[in-house]
Each structure stands twice: as structure tokens, then as C-alpha cells.
Amino acid sequence: MKNYIAALILTISILGFSSSADAAWGDFDTTFGFLGAAIDGNVTDHHPYAVALQADGKILVTGYKTVGGKKRFFLRRYLSNGQIDTSFGNNGSAVSYALIDANADYYGYRIAVQANGRIAIAGVGDQLPVIWRFLSTGYADTSIGQGGMKTFSTFENAAPRIATNANVLYVGLIEQGYTSTVVLKFNSNGTQDLSFGTSGKAITDAGNVFSLAVDPTSGNILLSGRRRSDPNDYGIERFLTTGVLDSSFNHWNATYSEWQGSYPSEFVRLANGEFVLNERWANISGGITFGANIVRLSSNGLFTSRSQYEPDGVIPLGSPEGDCPDLNAQQSDGRVILKGWNNDALFRFSTNFSTTHTMDCDSYASMDPGTQTPAVLQSDDKMVGGGTYGGYITLVRTLP
């Protein structure tokens, strides 16, 4: 462990860090951890898939750990300064009471923090979609599923999409046979709301690759991706809080003008109610090239514009500057951050989308290559990213 810390210190020293007077987007926040990075030396062979923030600034990380050659779910919590929160669960790790198959793999993939402090994790267990839910103390919430883990045995093997509004949890799943994408609603007490949609399901027209969110103002449910019934269409689909399709909204209002390799599943709902979709595309005719477009929709789902922000190029397996974290978000000042296909830059758009600023990812140069680098924005627009360094969970915080 000491050798890893020494190497990380050397890397940070080589990359350098800026004073507040000349700080640039992506520079280390030297008030976090040690000069901007925090290594969790208490656990090994942990691999982060998602990072989330609680309202109090504490940091949640989920993914899998390797135990006897098998993947095992984990959830760890850190203080806002990057130190492990030893008051959470068992010395910083969530405690689950769920019975599992010792020969199967289990991993967490997404995190949603509810208003009452409960923490929902979406992932896969034994090749089935599952959700775990924990109390704010880090112990399993046994009101849901078995021992705090709910398995969806009649759906396809894919990590669910999850979203929360107040203390309600929405779960997006793909029906067996890939016949449809549905959203289920779970009450705060862990029971499924069978009055939601049709017999407890909101049946959507979203394809197999989709995103799920809740409008914080109205509570309406939002999905994005390619349209299942016509894959040439994409955009946003909106459901009322009852699970009924919102007939006043312009669903799937954009049409492909790029290559069939486009994947516009990730979206950002802006503070003014409008939408930005991140359209990553692949040109597979006459040589493989990749790029990305920013697609804008009105607050009512109408397509308004599309423009390319990432130049055509061959996607690299990695970046010498460090693989950039995967982030699609809006800063508090209105600027939007997106990541395209390539790993070597993040793109930030001005509030009127007329100019673009790029960030290389020097601050992530020490992360183990080929690992996940999820990230999230704090309320002050500082970015917290997670990854592994020498097999240890490592958090990095950078300046806006």
C-alpha cells in the first residue's frame, strides 16, 4: 500500500496542481484527500461502477469486489473530504442480509439516494436484474425483497435503471424476450404500487438501451433512447405520476440523420426544463469512425437542433492523459458537460451552446487502465470521480 501511495504522490507532483488564482477546469482540488486524491487502503480488489452524492456531501460508491474469483456486490461511503465513513455499516461498507448463490456473480451498477436517506442500488445478481436498498446507517432495508435485495426473475439480464422522487422508487426493466421496456413503482415501505400504469407497469416504447429520470418539479417519469416500435426515432417519452402516458408531450420527436450506430440514450434535463441528448454515433461503412452530436429538445419534447461536438475519429482503447470519467450533467451556472466516444476529453458547452471548452483528464492519469471511471457533480460544480489505483478504490475531486 505504501508503494501505491508514494507512486500516486509522485504522479500528482509531476502533473502539478494550481493555486486558486490560476486554477483551470479539471485541476486537482487540493483540499480533497491528499492534494486532490483519496485512496481507500482498507479494502482491495474493489471495482467501482457508480458514484453518487448524499445531500450532506457524503460520497457513495458501488460496484463489485472479487472474492474467490467471483464478483460480490459492495457499497461504501466516504466523508466529503474523501475519508472513509466508519459510521456507515461495517467500517464503511454496507451490510446486506440477502441470501446469495455462492457460485454466482453480483454487482451494483447505479445508485439513487431517496429523500428519507435510504439508498437504492441497481445491479445484477445471478444473471438477473436486482435492486438492493439500505438504510442511511448502511444496514439492509429488509422492507424490500429478501434481506434487502429484490430480484426480478421474469425480466432480462440487465442492470435496471432507477430514479427516485421523494421516497418513491421507480425501476426500469426489460421484459423477457426483449418485447418491451417497463417501469415499476415501489412505495417508501418497499411494496410495489400495483395501481401504477397497467397492473403495476408503465409500458413504454423505449428500446433496450434507455435512461430513466424523474422531473423534480412535476414528478413525471422521463425515459430516453431509441424508440422500440421505430428505431429511426428517438427522444424523450414522458409518463404521468399515475403511470399513464402523457398525451400532451411530444414523444420520440427526433429522427436519425447519422449512422445506425447512434446511441442517444443518455440525456440531461436542464434547469429551464429543456433536454439535451448525447448522441454518440459510429460510421461503420468504409472504415470505422466515431463521433458525437449534441441534440436539443424543448421542454415539451420537440426537436430543436443537432450539432456535432466531437470530431470524427477512431476510438482509442485508452488515453495517455488518463481516461476521462463518464459524465453527462449541467453545472449550477447552466453550462452542460458531456463525454463523447473517445476517452481523452470532456466537453463543456456555454449556456447558449455557442462555444465549447474541452478538458483533458490529467487528473485521472494514475487510474488503473481499462477500469470504470464514474463521476458526479457537487452543488459547487466540483467533480468527484471514482476508479481504482493499484486495485484500491480511489476518489479524485477536480475544480470547475
Q: How confident is the model at residue 7 (pLDDT cuts 50, 70, 90)?
A: very low
Where in the sequence is the domain holding 172, given as residue range(s)?
43-204
DSSP string, 8-42: HHHHHHHH----TTT--TT-B-TTTTBTTEEEETT
pLDDT of residue 336: 97
Residue 292 lies in a domain: no
pLDDT of residue 344: 74
Whether the per-residue pLDDT at 3 is higher than 60: the answer is: no
> How many separate domains does the chain show?
1
pLDDT of residue 281: 77
- The tens digit of pLDDT for each residue in 10-35 reads 354 444 455 555 678 989 999 999 98
Q: How far apart are the first and last CA of the chain?
A: 30
Can you tell me whether residue 364 is helix, strand or coil? helix
Residue 269 lies in a domain: no
- The tens digit of pLDDT for each residue in 36-52 reads 999 999 998 899 999 99
Whether the per-residue pLDDT at 213 is higher than 90: the answer is: yes
Can you tell me whether residue 314 is helix, strand or coil? coil
pLDDT of residue 79: 98
Report yes or no: 79 and 45 within 8 Å, Cβ to Cβ: no
Residue 239 lies in a domain: no
In 317-391 the beta strands, taken as DSSP E runs, fall at 329-330, 336-338, 346-349, 356-359, 375-377, 383-389
Can you tell me whether residue 397 is helix, strand or coil? strand
Residue 371 lies in a domain: no
Measured distance CA(382)–CA(55) in Å, rounded: 15
Residue 158 lies in a domain: yes
Choice among 57-71, 90-104, 255-269 with the minimum mean pLDDT: 255-269
Closest C-alpha among 124, 121, 184 to residue 148: 121
Q: How confident is the model at residue 125 (pLDDT cuts 50, 70, 90)?
A: very high
pLDDT of residue 292: 86
Closest C-alpha among 159, 163, 131 to residue 147: 131
Q: How confident is the model at residue 312 (pLDDT cuts 50, 70, 90)?
A: confident
Choice among 3-7, 79-83, 231-235 with the minimum mean pLDDT: 3-7
Residue 147 lies in a domain: yes
97 grid coordinates: 442480509
What is this structure's pTM?
A: 0.91
Q: Which residues pair with 329 in a beta bridge?
A: 337
Give the CA count within 13 Å in the CB-facing half-sphere of 298: 9
Residue 193 lies in a domain: yes
Residue 87 lies in a domain: yes
pLDDT of residue 260: 52
